[in-house]
Structure 1
Amino acid sequence: MRKVVSRDGTTIAYEVAGDGPPIVLLNGAFRDHTIFDQLVPELTAHCTTYVYDRRGRGQSGDSPEYAVEREVEDLAAVIEEAGGEAVVFAGSLGANLALEAAMTGVPITKLALHEPYYRVEGFAKPPSDFMAKLNALLADGDRDEAAALWLAELMELSPQAIEAWRQGPLWPMNVANAHTLPYDTTIAGDYTVPTERLATLRIPCLVLNSDGTSEWFKAAAKATATALPNGWGMALPGSFHRIDMDILGRVLAGFATT
């Protein structure tokens, strides 16, 4: 992987593929750049894709103290490598991070978001002691239970669904990156849509959700699109927190190149 040094000196690892206008792909909790392995081939005929490991994951470095501002600077560093400005596609809490970056002036030309993590009125927020429980598990070195706690209390998955995740191919990545879950919890803030701040963001913003996702993710996507002056929502075929990859690729390619 290529490397770029972020503002605080942390090394961020990234990969480049394709030809055309640049699009940076930004992942959410648990994941590293490999989560886009199926999406990148759908885009490379139309765009130059940049995928990177967020700090603390994969081949990227980290810093002793976490701050959302440092992750904003990481994204800015990758965009600088992409030529100084870029379209950004971001999912889940990566979408929250991308919005924060755009609102603080990172040169994002267009923003596509997949189910940003907010809780709107009518849907309960995660327990107030979630972060404390998460940190306690991580302090004990129990990454497996930390990952399970995240899925139970942040994603509202049943014990049966969590056990299915444990048996799935992505669980080793979940456990390997569990130490970064406090980072994403920090990004989530108070879980509410920052309506007043989003009203200042003028770039085109496409907010996506899958037709098979949870009702609270659908509501969050709708509320986010409504709060953005140049935002609009779109539902695409998929399952919980996931859009069918070939369809997502076509939509993103069209969005990035028009």
Structure 2
Amino acid sequence: MRRHPRILINTPDVELWPAALLRARGNRDARILARARHVLRRKRDGRYLAADLPEGLMPLLPRWMREDGIDDALDALDAIPVHTRSGLDRVGTLPPHRLHERLEALGIDADRYAAHTGLPLIAEPDWLAFAGFDRYRRPLWLHVDAARAWHHLRAAAHRDGVVLEAVSGYRSHAYQLGIFERKQARGQRVDEILPINAAPGYSEHHSGLALDISAPGEPAAEESFEATDAFAWLTANAEGYGFRMSYPRDNPHGIVYEPWHWCYRPP
């Protein structure tokens, strides 16, 4: 049987994952995932909704058909064969989905935030390419152009004796909102979070073009990364592969210095 390319199909509320890349959350899930082609996964919390089996859809969550956006997800599932036959170089974007509602829940005025930071609103891609695994053995999803560039960048570094590890790639608007909610639950205020995490809808990670990079033995997302051989190599070579550090010291966006955050910007 011909295997579909390993891509993540994106819809506003639900992601369609290749089942082989998901971890089973129990014996029942393991049996189902072993036979499934795709899994419908809720974006806001990662819950598995249903599995696409050769004989049809298998529920993994009660009342999954009542989930927000399920019709869009089923339409996308039906279109996968057409999508993969028509080529994997054309990447569309999703319209912002309930974004203002999410920002208002955080007390963020979108227009004022955009004017203050100079950060653009960033749409999510309608599909992403599998770019290997990050340092935690999680699937790394990137825009197809960034995935190719990351492969070449990492290989070039390896030839020079430098190991680059991906820590984080694509994040949805819903995932970014979850970062804020988890930090608020730990007692942080939104104004304390914003210099470290861009507001939902404004993170470069939404585009699938951005990567957080680290090195073996180095903690993730720490300023100490700038003292590593990996950072020195990136500084000297990354631009030749289309990657640039987005948030240097004293950047105009009000984001803290992030030597680990690099974004693919083709010429």
Same fold (TM over 0.5): no
- TM-score using structure 1 length: 0.24
- TM-score using structure 2 length: 0.24
Higher helix share: 1
Which of the pair has more CA radius of gyration? 2
RCO (CA 8 Å, sep 6+): is it higher in 1 or 2? 1
